[in-house]
Amino acid sequence: MSHNMTYALITGASKGIGKCIARELAQKGYNLLLVARSTDLLQTVAQELEQEFAIKALVLSIDMSRPEAAQTIFNFCEQQHLSVSILVNNAGYGLSGKFEKYASSAHEAMLQVNIMCLTQLCALFIPMLKQQQQAFIMNIASSAAYQAVPYLGAYAASKSYVLSFSRALYQEYKNTALSVTCICPGPTDTDFPNRAFLGPKGMKTAAKLNMTPEKVAEIAVQSMFAKKPNVILGFVNKVGAFLAWLLPNNIVERSAMSIYQ
């Protein structure tokens, strides 16, 4: 299936969930622009998918914690005359443990990737997306978006931002050619726990609840094409979000705290 040579731009496509989303979209005939820091990993993904699915896969290695990253990504697309019809904001990471354990600059870099770059990419690409017959934005939040999570505080709050922002965009662009979907995965078997420096209890809980990134990507892409506003992945995570809504904040927060402390 061809999509008139339109491109899906996927951030954080070097591994984990982003890499699997790239595969799902390549399978559907989309050309790809794969963005992350790791040039080698990106090139391997691109080569694999080009060979398997006869699509074009370009790579752009960039550190999205740099303030100019979103503009650089947009400029690259303009220079290459890429017509982008899908924007997947997947790049992101957490920092677990005591808030004061990390320097202010470390929190800032995380928020730059999880919040700022995502928002800037939406702002820069929406005019181009609106020109397509049909376009999609998929933003990856987390089941942590539904409550405060002590010892994972700034990360969880950044994902609450992504969820709230995405739902607002969904409403703004509903009944237009642009559909916006927010995906909230729970623990997924990727490099995330290592990058977030999860402690033994966090690792154990994650391992117990883990979904595969392949399954997460499959449901995420289905949900995006079905134009759903937001989806919590996995039954346990759906129940978790419901309980977070139902129970007093203090109980919900203290229970999460015991996992990430």
Ligand X SMILES: NC(=O)c1ccc[n+]([C@@H]2O[C@H](COP(=O)([O-])OP(=O)(O)OC[C@H]3O[C@@H](n4cnc5c(N)ncnc54)[C@H](OP(=O)(O)O)[C@@H]3O)[C@@H](O)[C@H]2O)c1
Binding-site ranges for ligand X (CB under 6 A): 12-18, 36-38, 41, 63-65, 90-93, 113, 140, 142, 185, 187-188, 190-192, 195, 213
Residue 95 CB, nearest distance to ligand X (Å)? 11
Rounded distance, CA 123 to CA 118, Å?
A: 9
Of 42 and 55, the one with the shorter C-beta distance to ligand X is: 42
Residue 189 CB, nearest distance to ligand X (Å)? 7
Residue 161 CB, nearest distance to ligand X (Å)? 12
Identify the DSSP state of 227.
Answer: T
Q: Which contacts of 103-108 are long-range, i.e. CB under 8 A and separated by 24 or more positions?
A: 107/154
Closest-CA residue to 89 (of 256, 245, 224, 258) = 224
Of 34 and 82, the one with the shorter C-beta distance to ligand X is: 34
Residue 131 CB, nearest distance to ligand X (Å)? 27
Residue 142 CB, nearest distance to ligand X (Å)? 4
Rounded distance, CA 58 to CA 82, Å?
A: 10
Of 55 and 211, the one with the shorter C-beta distance to ligand X is: 211
Of 65 and 147, the one with the shorter C-beta distance to ligand X is: 65
Of 54 and 207, the one with the shorter C-beta distance to ligand X is: 207
Residue 9 CB, nearest distance to ligand X (Å)? 13
Sheet holding 135-140, edge to edge: 57-61, 31-36, 7-11, 84-89, 135-140, 178-184, 230-232
Identify the DSSP state of 3.
Answer: -
Of 153 and 185, the one with the shorter C-beta distance to ligand X is: 185
Q: What is the number of alpha carbons within 13 Å of residue 97 lying toward its C-beta?
A: 15
Of 55 and 73, the one with the shorter C-beta distance to ligand X is: 73
For residue 35, report the phi and psi dihedrals to the nearest 5 degrees: -120, 135
Rounded distance, CA 203 to CA 250, Å?
A: 23
Residue 47 CB, nearest distance to ligand X (Å)? 16
Q: Radius of gyration (Cα) for the chain, nearest Å? A: 18
